[in-house]
Amino acid sequence: MNLPKDLKYSEEHEWVKTEGEKVRIGITDFAQSELGDIVFVELPEVGDEIEADEPFGSVESVKTVSELYAPLSGKVVEVNEELDDSPEFVNESPYDKAWMIVVEPSNEEEIDELMSADEYEEMVSED
Amino acid sequence: MSKELKRTPLYPLYTRYGAKTVDFGGWELPVQFSSIKEEHRTVREKAGLFDVSHMGEVEVTGEGAFPFLQYIVTNDLERLKPGKVLYTPICNEKGGVKDDFLIYQLKASHYLLVPNAANAEKVVRWLREQAPDDVTIADRSATYALLAVQGPLAASIIQTMTETDIQDIPFFRFQEKVVVAGIEVLLSRTGYTGEDGFEMYTSHENAPLLWEELLEAGKTKGLLPCGLGARDTLRFEACLPLYGQEISESISPLEAGLTFAVRLKKNSDFIGKSALIEQKKTGLSRKICGIEMMDKGIPRTGYDVLNEDGKRIGLITSGTQSPTFQKNMGLALIETPYTEKGSTLYVRIRKKTLKAVVVPMPFYMRERG
């Protein structure tokens, strides 16, 4: 399982990368592998507010729809428009080409509550 | 999951081929081996191998078997003869579908029915309730394993494994006691993918060896193990109904567009006949039709379908992104006035109302050589 050490992880299988004042968000390698071929990604728009633990979008595989749950609260400042035409990036490159949104967090403490790579790995291997 | 899941005799082989399994109506079955899209493409272009051993098998025998089954099914068994297969729904008194299955005529007094796994027990019970004394119903589901090889290269792969000339078996015909890789099977030219292909009924104990031999023989031709995910997208593109979605106890075979398998003029009464005749006479109030999304979004089972004024006119029964056409498509049960090809309708997808258009069915039809 590919789990970069410099990222933080949520229970809902999102990764969070701190970039100065902002964070970049996507879904984990484990999540994409569980979902199978991703054929559609629905994301919020720039300027939307997202709230921790609430859905902010969805990813659809051939078989199912899965909601994306916000790992933290904040304002969306960037959205990966490329996933519109290339949803397969989520399978091919979950931590790089398939970043989903960049957010300005409204509550920095929420970042500290996320899991480390080791903690996340422990969680998913318990399933 | 409190109840223990049932497994087919091929279960021990799944992990070797990378299967991801799911609970499918109480069975632990592979949803995919490599990827649904890749498996789907392989079946359309080459060939795929499916374990469908969860399907039920019911033998109906006896002097009264023919008239009894004529009374149970909506299709006309006069169209059968030994060596032929017939697809048919069976209905309840109200004309709703109890199940749909293939019937194999082995002899005039001996038939093999292949109900859906989830309906097998219900079908056996239903048959026993109706059966006269000169008919015997035997549930053989635990005896048979069933492997399907589907795709344009299916016949050429199997031909390398048997001395029987299988090209002589036309679509919807079968042969008993065909020896494939030294294993005796009932070889049937049928399937649920919209492609040419074969289904092989064999014993539980022979199934794992047959699976391995097929994959070995098909290796150079690109044969891949395929899961239920691809089986579903393949049957969806071919617009073959799935029980519980396009058909159910409350949906009639006429509404589902299965008129070719409902013989209202056959020379015998059958369960549901009067309800279906009445339905045909008054006209269908709703029908299954095909839709393609114009706006971005994927229709899924159970989503509401609306007209221009926002009135609910039906629901999506199946939907996905068609792997062959890369379009978001659906099957929908909607009020008849809206089922004209080219009609605009709307699908409620989560918080959005997205535009779709009615398109012809089937979405996919293979070229027949």
Using DSSP, state whether B121 is helix, strand or coil: helix
In a domain, B127, yes or no: yes
Measured CB to CB, residues of chain B less than 8 Å from chain A are: 20, 31-32, 35-37, 40, 229, 232-233, 296-298, 300, 320-321, 323, 328, 350
Show the tokens assigned to A74: 């904040």
Same domain for B272 and B305, yes or no, is: no
Q: Which residues of chain A make contact with B245, given a CB cutoff of 8 A?
A: none
Helix (H) or strand (E) segment spanning residue A110: helix A109-112
Q: What local confidence, expressed as pLDDT, does residue B1 receive? A: 47
Q: How far apart are CA B231 and CA B236, in angstroms?
A: 8
> For residue B369, what pLDDT is reported?
60
Q: Are B238 and B250 in contact (CB under 8 A)?
A: no
Does residue B167 lie in a domain region? yes
Q: At what angle do helices B228-237 and B36-45 cross, to 10 degrees?
A: 60
Same domain, B49 and B27: yes
Pairing of the two strands B224-226 and B48-51: parallel
B362 preceded by a cis bond (ω within 30 of 0) = yes
The alpha-carbon gap from B20 to the nearest alpha carbon of chain A, in Å, equals 9
Distance CA A78, CA A101 (A): 6
Of the candidates B130, B138, B149, the residue with the CA atom closest to the CA atom of residue B272: B130
Question: Do B228 and B186 fall into the same domain?
Answer: yes
Q: Which of B31, B321, B350 sits opposite A39 (nearest CB)?
A: B321
A65: alpha, beta or left? (left if phi > 0; alpha if psi -120 to 50): beta
Same domain, B185 and B195: yes
Task: Inspect the interface and report whether the beta carbons of A36 and B32 lie closer than 8 Å.
Answer: yes
Q: What is the CATH number of the domain that holds B270?
A: 3.30.70.1400
Coil, helix or strand for A109? Answer: helix
Assess if residue B366 is contained within a domain.
Answer: no
What separation in angstroms does the CA of B181 have from each of B50, B158, B164, B207? 17, 9, 11, 11
Q: Do B36 and A37 touch (CB under 8 A)?
A: yes
Same domain assignment for residues B211 and B173: yes
Answer yes or no: is B291 within a domain.
yes
CA B248 centroid distance within chain: 13
Both B310 and B258 in a single domain?
Answer: no
A21, with CB counted inside 10 A (0-12, 13-18, 19+), is exposed
Are both B49 and B148 inside the same structural domain?
A: yes
Give the C-alpha separation, B17 to B48, whole Å.
Answer: 13
Q: Is B16 inside any structural domain?
A: yes
Considering the domain architecture, whether residues B147 and B231 belong to the same structural domain is answered as yes
The ipTM (two decimal places) reads: 0.85
Q: How far is A98 from chain B (nearest CA, A)?
A: 19
Q: Do A37 and B31 touch (CB under 8 A)?
A: no
Q: Please judge whether A37 and B37 are an interchain contact, meaning their C-beta atoms are less than 8 angstroms apart.
A: yes
Domain presence at residue B3: no
Residues B312 and B271 in one domain: no
**Backbone CA torsion sign across B244, B65, B62, B144:** negative
What pLDDT is attached to residue B105?
Answer: 98
Contacts of B92 (CB under 8 A, 6+ apart): B98, B249, B271, B272
Q: What is the per-residue pLDDT for A127?
A: 59
Residue B148 contacts residue B192 (beta carbons within 8 Å):
yes
Supply the CATH number for residue B180's domain. Answer: 3.30.1360.120
Which pair of structure tokens corresponds to residue B30?
């592979």
Nearest CA in chain B to A84: B296
- The CA-based diameter of chain A, rounded to the nearest angstrom, is 37
CA distance B287 to chain A (A): 24
Cβ atoms of A14 and A73 closer than 8 Å: no
CB B368 within 8 A of CB B171: no
pLDDT for the residue numbered B2: 52
Q: What is the rounded distance in angstroms from the CA atom of residue B270 to the CA atom of residue B66?
A: 12
- Segments of chain B scoring below 50 in pLDDT: 1
Q: Do A62 and B31 touch (CB under 8 A)?
A: no
Asked if B212 and B163 sit in the same domain, the reply is yes
Tell me, yes or no, whether B322 lies in a domain.
Answer: yes
B70 and B107 housed in the same domain: yes
Residues A100-123, mean pLDDT to the nearest whole number: 96
Number of H helices, E strands in chain B: 8, 19
The DSSP string of B250-280 is: TB-TTTTT-GGG--TTSSS--TTHHHHHHHH
The whole-angstrom separation of Cα B202 and Cα B55 is 13
CB contact under 8 A, B321 and A36: no
Number of domains observed in the structure of chain B = 3
Closest CB from A36, A37, A40 relative to B298: A40
B367: in domain = no
Question: Which domain covers residue B339, as residue numbers?
Answer: 285-359
CATH number for the domain that contains residue B332: 2.40.30.110
What's the CA gap between B201 and B191, in Å, rounded?
A: 12
Cα–Cα distance list, B174 to B51, B150, B185 (Å): 19, 15, 10
Length of chain B, in residues: 369
Question: What pTM, to 2 d.p., does this model score?
Answer: 0.94
- Residues B153 and B233 both lie in one domain: yes
